[in-house]
Every structure is written in C-alpha cells, then in structure tokens.
Amino acid sequence: MKAKIIGAGSIGNHHAEACRSMGWDVTVVDTDQAALDRMKSEIYPKRYGAWDESIKLFLSSEQPSGGFDVVYLGTPPHVRMKIAEEILEEEPKVLLLEKPAFPPSLVGLALFAAAMKKHPNVAVLVGFNHIVANNTKKVHQLIEKNNLGKLLALEAGIRSHWENIFKAHPWLKGPEDTYLGYWKKGGGAGGEHSHGLNLWQHFAHELGFGRVAEVQGMFDYVRENGADYDRQCLLNLVTEKGLVGRVVQDVLTQPKKKWVELQFEGGSIEWWNDVTKTTDEVIVNVRGKEQEKIVIEKSRTEEFRKEAEHIGDILSGKIKKSDSPIRFERGAETSIVLEAGHRSHGEKRTIAVDYSSIDA
Ligand SMILES: NC(=O)c1ccc[n+]([C@@H]2O[C@H](COP(=O)([O-])OP(=O)(O)OC[C@H]3O[C@@H](n4cnc5c(N)ncnc54)[C@H](O)[C@@H]3O)[C@@H](O)[C@H]2O)c1
C-alpha cells in the first residue's frame, strides 16, 4: 500500500509511524522545509526511537501526485479544503481529512461535497480516531450484551488543558502562533477538542437517534496577544429523534477528563479515554448488579494504528466505505453543529441545524 501524508507536523508524524507499522510505503509532504527537517531530526526519532529511512520527504511543490492508496490531510483546518479538492483529482482510494474537517466558517464545505460526487470511488473519511478505538468498540459490545433498554441521556466531555499540545510543538510561543489560537480557523476548545461533539453524535447515530437537530451554544472566548479562541465550549443538543444531552470541551482542565456517559433505562455505560497514559476504561452499571470496570491497555501510537487498520479494512473491502463510522458525512456534521453552536452563542437563541450543504 502507498500512503501520502500532507503536513509533517505532529499528526503527520503519528500517521507516518502508523502507516510504517502497517508495512506501507510512506511519502510525507509539507510547504515548509523546516517542518520536514524537524520531522526527520527531532519529532520522529524522539517519539519512535529512530528515523525511518524508507520515509520519503517532499516539499509540496515537488510532491509526487497520483497512484496513492491513501492520502492523509494533516494540515491545520483552515488550509484543508483547497488541498482536499486537489487531492480528490488524484483519486486515491481513501482520503482522510484530519479533524475538525472544516473550521466553523464552513468555507469550502459545499464545494468539496459537490466535488466528492465527481469522484465517487474515493472514500473520504474524517480523522475522529476515538470512534475506531477499542474502548468505543467495547461500549457497543456491552450495549448489545446487556439489556439496558432505551437510551435516555447522553453526555460527552473532552476537557483537557492544551499544555501538552504546546509541549509537542516547542517551536510555538503560544496559541497566537498557530491556528489553535483562533476559533475561526478551527482552533480553540470547540475545534481542537471536537472529538467530544463527534463522540456524542456517533453514539446518537449508532443508537438510532439520528442527527443533531437543534443546538444551544455557550462559549468562553479569550482575546489576548492577537489570538481569539474559545477556552470553553458548552453545547446543549437535541437530535431529530428527541435525544437530549450535552457536550463540554475546554482547553483548561488539569488533569484531563475525556468521557462519554450513556444513561439507559436499565443502567449506564461510561467511556473513558486516557485514564492513565496507557489505559482507557469502560464502566458498566447494570441496575441490580455489581459495577463492572474494564481496563483497556493502549498506547498513543496504537490510537493511530487502529485508524490505519480501519483504512486497511476499507482498502481490502472488508468494510464498505458507506458503513465506516468515520465517513465524511459524520465528520462534516461535527463541523456543521459546531458552527451552529457559535451562532447560537452570538444570537443568544436555539439554532436549528441546517445540513443542506452536505445533503444537496
Ligand atoms: N486525531 C487526533 O487525535 C489529532 C492529533 C493531533 C492533531 N490533529 C489534527 O491535525 C491537524 C494538524 O495538527 P498538528 O498538530 O499536526 O499541526 P502542526 O502545526 O504540527 O502541523 C501542520 C503542518 O502542516 C503544514 N502545512 C500547512 N499548510 C500546508 C499546505 N498548504 N500544504 C502542506 N503542508 C502544510 C505545516 O507546515 C505544518 O508542518 C489539526 O487539524 C489537528 O486538530 C488530530
């Protein structure tokens, strides 16, 4: 398999290592020679022990085009769409857009959705990798195994101080130096921790409650040193089939808390990520029974390996692209609801979510 990764930053390194662990041929592309040099001499060897000489590095202007099985688009969100349209023309079998797929302006979304129709053979995914992780799989197994009845409430939270992100980018002085410091570019708590909203939407969809129909958003915006980001993003949600719940994302909480809680008629299930550096957890409370806690060993590299395995399954035909829980439409919905959340805050009212840009 041949993989091309656009963006030699933090996520580009994760995907490069995951693809190499799958035995895939890897090419990495960046507009910035310093980023390519940093990948080879600092990030990759520090994270994974040594540079892998088989990885080919190219400036964007000199990149090979066409013939790739998978292209990962790991640039910042606000520069994703123009490149994504160009990559569609290359017709890889899979195109993975990193999360969030779009900044809250949703600029380029309708055009990209239309362009996808001209390339029906390209499976477009969005990199919400928690959805293909073992803890999520375990939650689904436990819902099936236990007779919990109807889902009554759903809550998801990604509350995590962004200090660790800055530790992984020591060349940045602060949020103002990167898209992270600008919510309109897809940064801030709403964009950077959009895994929370996406997890909420995932379970709502998979348990039959459909799309988010209405949203109330409350944001805590910060304007300092030229940056303009939300440090807290709070969303109250209701789906088209009446499921009510909420999402909280912030870049403040230490120690971090990343969870989903599903309250059923007959008990509850909790999904936890990063309980320790090497463990996730799933906690089940079936009414009348002892609590069951399942500890799932994992590593950071494995999180991206699982995503590469999922892509491998799509490439081999084991999973149909239309069945992938990280397919384009699901990821795009996250950006669409986040946009509506910001608008709700600005207009101080509940917003009905409009999906016409991806339904057209
Ligand atoms: N799924 C996850 O868990 C996860 C983890 C980390 C990052 N991400 C996402 O990945 C994206 C990138 O984050 P990051 O931390 O790697 O950022 P980063 O700043 O470390 O890296 C981005 C790279 O893209 C390059 N770039 C910018 N414009 C480009 C262009 N037009 N063509 C080619 N390269 C270009 C930059 O030079 C930089 O090297 C973000 O959307 C982020 O949310 C996802």
Report pLDDT digits (tens) over 110-128.
999 999 999 999 999 999 9
Distances (CA, A) of 62 to 12, 74, 96: 18, 18, 21
Contact present, 228 and 181 (Cβ < 8 Å):
yes
Final residue in a domain of this structure, among 56, 79, 98: 98
* Amino acid 164: pLDDT: 84
Give domain status of residue 104, yes or no: no
The 3-state secondary structure of the chain reads: CEEEEECCCHHHHHHHHHHHHCCCEEEEEECCHHHHHHHHHHHHHHHHCCCCCCCEEEEHHHCCCCCCCEEEECCCHHHHHHHHHHHHHHCCCEEEECCCCCCCCCCCHHHHHHHHHCCCCCEEEECCHHHHCHHHHHHHHHHHHCCCCCEEEEEEEEECCCHHHHHCCCCCCCHHHCHHHEHHHCCHHHHHCCHHHHHHHHHHHHCCCCCEEEEEEEEEEEEECCEEEEEEEEEEEEECCCCEEEEEEECCCCCCEEEEEEEECCEEEEEEEEEECCEEEEEEEECCCCCEEEEEECCHHHHHHHHHHHHHHHHHCCCCHHHCCCEHHHHHHHHHHHHHHHHHHHHCCCEECCCHHHHC
Gap between the Cα atoms of 137 and 116, Å rounded = 29
59 and 208 co-located in one domain = no
Give domain status of residue 340, yes or no: yes
Say which CATH number the domain at 237 has: 3.30.360.10
Give domain status of residue 303, yes or no: no
What are the φ and ψ backbone dihedral angles of 254, each rounded to 5 degrees?
A: -135, 125
Q: What is the percent of the chain with per-residue pLDDT over 90, rounded to a whole number? A: 95
* Amino acid 323: pLDDT: 96
Give domain status of residue 346, yes or no: yes
C-beta 329 within 6 A of ligand 1: no
C-beta 129 within 6 A of ligand 1: yes
Ligand 1 mutation target, pool 30, 61, 125, 311, most atoms within 8 A of CB: 30
94 and 150 co-located in one domain = no
203 and 157 co-located in one domain = yes
Indicate if the pLDDT at residue 169 is higher than 90: no
Contact present, 126 and 330 (Cβ < 8 Å):
yes
**The pairing of beta strand 279-286 with beta strand 292-297:** antiparallel
Beta strands in 143-266 (DSSP E): 151-159, 212-224, 227-239, 244-250, 257-264
161 and 258 co-located in one domain = yes
* Amino acid 83: pLDDT: 96
Give domain status of residue 79, yes or no: yes
230 and 341 co-located in one domain = yes
Count of Cβ atoms closer than 10 Å to residue 4 Cβ: 27
Final residue in a domain of this structure, among 52, 76, 98: 98
C-beta 6 within 6 A of ligand 1: yes
Report CA(179)–ligand 1 centroid distance (Å).
9
What one-letter code names the amino acid at 204? A
Kindly give the number of the ligand 1 atom that is closest to the alpha carbon of 38: 39
Tell me the average pLDDT of the chain. 96
* Amino acid 312: pLDDT: 98
Report CA(11)–ligand 1 centroid distance (Å).
6
Task: Report the chain's C-alpha Rg in angstroms.
Answer: 20
- Atom 25 of ligand 1 has which residue's CA nearest to it? 7
Say which CATH number the domain at 85 has: 3.40.50.720
96-100: average pLDDT: 98
* Amino acid 326: pLDDT: 98
Kindly give the number of the ligand 1 atom that is closest to the alpha carbon of 32: 37
* Amino acid 277: pLDDT: 92
Report CA(293)–ligand 1 centroid distance (Å).
35
156 and 265 co-located in one domain = yes
Count of domains for the chain? 2
Contact present, 19 and 68 (Cβ < 8 Å):
no
CA nearest to 98, candidates 9, 228, 201, 210 = 9
The range of the structural domain enclosing residue 214 comes to 130-298+326-359
Beta strands in 287-327 (DSSP E): 292-297
Least confident of 43-47, 170-174, 186-190: 170-174
Report CA(209)–ligand 1 centroid distance (Å).
33
Give domain status of residue 307, yes or no: no
C-beta 74 within 6 A of ligand 1: yes
* Amino acid 170: pLDDT: 84
- Atom 36 of ligand 1 has which residue's CA nearest to it? 7
Indicate if the pLDDT at residue 341 is higher than 90: yes
Contact present, 179 and 227 (Cβ < 8 Å):
no
| pLDDT per residue as tens digits for the range 4-54 | 999 999 999 999 999 999 999 999 999 999 999 999 999 999 999 999 999
Indicate if the pLDDT at residue 360 is higher than 80: no
135 and 76 co-located in one domain = no
223 and 161 co-located in one domain = yes
Confidence band, pLDDT 50/70/90 cuts, at residue 285: very high
| pLDDT per residue as tens digits for the range 217-227 | 999 999 999 99
140 and 284 co-located in one domain = yes
94 and 159 co-located in one domain = no
274 and 344 co-located in one domain = yes
- Atom 7 of ligand 1 has which residue's CA nearest to it? 11
Kindly give the number of the ligand 1 atom that is closest to the alpha carbon of 178: 19
Give domain status of residue 308, yes or no: no
Indicate if the pLDDT at residue 210 is higher than 90: yes
Count of Cβ atoms closer than 10 Å to residue 219 Cβ: 22
93 and 225 co-located in one domain = no
Give domain status of residue 193, yes or no: yes
C-beta 60 within 6 A of ligand 1: yes
C-beta 333 within 6 A of ligand 1: no
C-beta 99 within 6 A of ligand 1: yes
Token digits of residue 37: 């040099």
